[in-house]
Chains A and B, each alone.
Chain A
Amino acid sequence: MALINKNAAQITATIVSNKRVGQYHQLIINIGDLAQACKPGNFVAISVGGETSGMILRRAFAISRVSTSTTFGGTMELIVAAHGQGSRWLCAQPEGATLNLVVPLGTAFGIPTEPVQVLLVGGGYGSAPLFGLAEVLNARGCRVDMLLGASTAGKIYAPMEGKRAVNSLRIYTEDGSMGQMGRVTDPIASLIKDMDIAVIYSCGPMAMLSAINAITSQSDVIHQCAVEESMACGIGICMTCVLPVADETGAVSMLRSCIDGPVMDGAYVQWDKLGQVL
């Protein structure tokens, strides 16, 4: 049995920069050599609120990108939506402030051994880790195409520099305020038919992941998705972030999205049983 949390460490880390990007905040945090252990798909668990806070649980954020060659030493980038008490506190932290982190946690996106065609699908700021993933896939020689969707333009996260690793990028908004009007899942079936896509990587709301899986299950495209369930600990001890997943024999069990995920094979997730008693 592989070791659980095997690269993870609890550290105090300094915020190198904190910038507003559209409706989101981009935080760059110095994590030193741990950056080398971070892979696309991994997440970080951050203490929020300061020492006297009544918020006792860490907040989990997907690592959108790491850099091991900056003047600051290893850094990681997070894209944070300030929608809760904890994330609002985090987004209000100035440059130079220190954070208590546990990093890296969770599974990573699997990278194909061959240079195949892949499609990346992101919903809202769920797109953030896909740009770091695109760079890795691009370096592997994969042709990378990307679809991003959100309810409205302000919720699309698509940084200029992130597009370099992407062959094409299409944007969908439900209100038509950016890109095409519609849902990010609309073109997937025809893209699978027209292109020789081997893997779809997805990150975003569970409803989007489920809709993608309904399409990939009709094909032989592999669907690697980063799932999202509310978690208390991020390290596998609280058992709150579970979801029903089948194994090769078809037996379904409740797996923890923090250590058996967040990246899972969509074909095994029991999408119709989410939030139910098995």
Chain B
Amino acid sequence: MTSVDLSTTIGNAWFPNPIFTASGCASSGRELAQFFPLHDLGGVVTKSVMSKARTGRPTPRMAETPSGMLNSIGLQGPGIDAFIAKDIPYLIEQKARIIVSIAGETIEEYSTLARKLRSVSGISAIEVNISCPNVENRGLVFACDPDASRRVIDGVRRTIGGELPIIAKLSPDVTDLVSIARGVVDAGADALALINTVLGMVINLDTMRPHLGGKTGGLSGPAIRPIAVRAVYQVHEAMPKVPILGMGGITNGRDALEMIAAGASGLSIGTASFGNPMALISIVQELKELLGAKGFTSLRDAIGFAHRIEEA
């Protein structure tokens, strides 16, 4: 079998392979480091960090659903200062490539986070998680509001300058995903992360009330994979030059290749790690074998393959 070049780029950042952790599904890497070297991944996308430490939502925080799960964590985290002091140095020591995910409650908070990260060395890119309630606009999620989405990315772009690639992470819970994607790209996003979890709910029939402490939760896992493939396909079709970090229920190499064929340049693996701590590393290997078996010599040749017009 010929060797396959798995390397990929997101904006100006280069990665040896396209497999990343998904934000919020690997903390800052320490927990998975027992199972494989973090350096073997394309990179670690850290759990979305906010300005201040946050305790998150009450328990129960999860419910298993058919081929998926709901989570309602509420962005529990240490806050940006502790994150920069403790987590970044750890990841650098592990020689991991780092994508820092940030989240805010106001447009200003995102810019503040970007300002703090601007001077930190060792970061490959910033993922801007805009699937958070905007406290300045009746709690409407930024990602569901085209104007607020643009303004967040614009603020981060202005603060961070032209160096670090910005990846805008979008929600699938919108009417016109492509128009929101265009808006954030116009505002300065170099790449897009698709998709965040899909909002869901489970009612507990013992209590006859919503099961989760936070009532609603984000659905993830194989249950949402076709939604993610569709989202990646539609956005890649509209903007074929914008790199996409694809995610949503990828569990094995076949799922990974499907998302790449739809148009993803990189892949985040989240819920699969809950069931299989070795999932990320297995997927790197399986993807490599599958690409080779299909005659690809490089990952790049497979990106967006499903869009190509069949040769006569």
Contacts and interface: CB of A to CB of B under 8 A. Distances in A.
Interface string B49-71: 00000011111111010111101
Contacts of A58: 274-275
Given A58-B274, A102-B277, A239 B59 contact: no
B27 A54 contact: no
Contacts of A274: 59
Contact of B31 (A237, A275, A276): A237
Given A3-B34, A56-B274, A275-B213, A240 B67 contact: no
Interface stretch (A74-82, A156-164, A225-233): A225-233
A236 interface: yes
Interface in B43-93: 47, 55-62, 64, 66-69, 71, 73, 76
A58 B34 CA distance: 18
Interface string A4-16: 1110101000000
Contacts of A231: 62
Interface in B13-62: 24-27, 30-35, 47, 55-62
A257 to B, nearest CB: 10
B159 interface: no
B273 interface: yes
A78 to B, nearest CB: 19
Contacts of A254: 55-56, 76
A232 B277 contact: no
A242 interface: yes
B222 interface: yes
A104 to B, nearest CB: 12
Contact of A232 (B30, B71, B213, B278): B71
A10 B276 contact: yes
B215 to A, nearest CB: 12
B271 interface: yes
A57 B24 CA distance: 16
Contacts of B61: 239-242
Given A57-B64, A233-B274, A254-B76, A8 B34 contact: yes
Given A4-B34, A5-B31, A237 B59 contact: no
B278 A277 contact: no
Contact of A240 (B68, B73, B251): B73
Contacts of B183: none
How extensive is the interface on chain B, given as a class? 35 or more
A175 to B, nearest CB: 21
Contacts of A238: 25, 62, 71, 73, 274
Contacts of B243: none
B221 interface: yes
Which label, helix, strand, loop or mixed, suits the secondary structure of the A interface? Answer: loop
B19 to A, nearest CB: 16
A239 B61 CA distance: 8
Interface in A9-27: 10
Given A57-B275, A240-B73, A4 B35 contact: no
Contacts of B68: 56
A1 to B, nearest CB: 8
A185 B76 CA distance: 34
B274 A242 contact: no
Interface string A212-247: 000000000000000001111101111111111000
Contacts of B24: 239
Contact of A237 (B26, B66, B69): B26
Given A5-B34, A253-B55, A239 B27 contact: yes
Contact of A54 (B30, B34, B67): B67
Contacts of A253: 55
B31 A232 contact: no
A101 to B, nearest CB: 11
Given A54-B67, A56-B64, A275-B59, A235 B222 contact: no
Interface in A101-135: 102
Nearest to B63: A230
A242 B277 CA distance: 19
B21 to A, nearest CB: 9
B69 A56 contact: yes
Interface string A240-278: 111110000000011000010000000000000011111
A55 interface: yes
B196 to A, nearest CB: 16
B31 A236 contact: yes
B27 A236 contact: yes
21 contacts: A1-B30, A3-B30, A4-B34, A10-B35, A56-B221, A56-B251, A57-B69, A100-B276, A229-B59, A229-B60, A232-B71, A233-B274, A237-B31, A238-B25, A239-B27, A240-B60, A240-B71, A240-B73, A242-B76, A259-B31, A274-B59
Interface of A: 1, 3-6, 8, 10, 47, 54-58, 100, 102, 229-233, 235-244, 253-254, 259, 274-278
